[in-house]
Amino acid sequence: MAARLPTGSENVHAMYRSGIGLAGQVAADSLTLMQTKPPGVRKVTNPLPASGAADPESRDSARSNAPLTVVTLDRIVSLDDYGDFARGFAGIGKAQATRLTDGQTDVMLITVASASGDPLTGTSKTISALDSAIRLSRDPSGPSVVIQSFDQVYFDVTATVIVNALYDQDTIIGAVGDAVRKAFAFDRRDFGQSVSAAEVIATMQGSQASTR
């Protein structure tokens, strides 16, 4: 049941929730309510969009990420340790470590993506925090570390789908398209993983709609 609020002064109390995951990554100038009211502060806003959030881990994500801290023991030694450490860091959804050299100097390049699958800017607090954490955990005599965001690369698919006359053509084609988009989504691919026509065709032919 609902009823009109009783008359009075300051008799309404609001509850604020922090840490709501990716939904909390609001745009700039969206946060205008204060959780507390310090004396003299009359108005607040966020000049920059919120970033660095992550949703609670799914079961599959927990299975793949939980062992990372056990493997590294919060110490970075090998090439794999750099990638594992970055993937287990809050706000990072995907990471890949690559050792580069010009013949004289080695550089550890760590490519990262946010938990939402979006690129991170060079001024991102998440990258800055990850860089600081890596410096504290790695061997100081090891190669210098460069952390950068990934570049999004898209590809187009043009295909002819022959639909059995017993089935609705729009439904089948829509389902095949959904299967392709799901198979090649951010969380299903590694950085730099190539895409072949054979893989796309196999995905289309293996979709549930095309085999029923």
Nearest to 104 by CA among 144, 146, 147: 144
Name the CA dihedral angle for 86, 87, 92, 94, rounded to a multiple of 10 degrees: 120
Q: Where are the domains of the chain?
A: 59-149, 169-211
Tell me the CATH architecture of domain 59-149: 2-Layer Sandwich (3.30)
Sorted by sequence, the CB contacts under 8 Å of residue 50 that are 6+ apart come out as 24, 25, 26, 30, 31
Is residue 45 within 8 Å of residue 64, measured between CB atoms? no
Is residue 22 within 8 Å of residue 55, measured between CB atoms? yes
CA 65 to chain centre: 13
Q: b or e along 96-115 (b: 16 or more beta carbons within 10 Å of the residue's beta carbon)?
A: bbeeeeeeeeeebbbbbbbb
Matching residue, tokens 């108005």: 43
Nearest-angstrom CA–CA distance, 68 and 52: 20
CA 135 to chain centre: 22
Determine if the pTM surpasses 0.75: no
- Per DSSP, 109 falls in state E
CB atoms inside a 10 Å sphere around CB 61? 16
Is residue 73 within 8 Å of residue 64, measured between CB atoms? no
Per-residue pLDDT of the chain in tens (212 residues, 90 and over written 9): 567 777 888 777 766 666 566 666 777 887 787 777 788 888 888 887 776 666 666 655 555 555 555 545 567 878 888 888 888 888 888 899 999 987 788 899 999 998 878 888 767 788 899 999 998 888 888 888 999 999 888 888 888 888 888 888 899 999 999 999 999 988 888 888 899 999 999 999 888 654 44
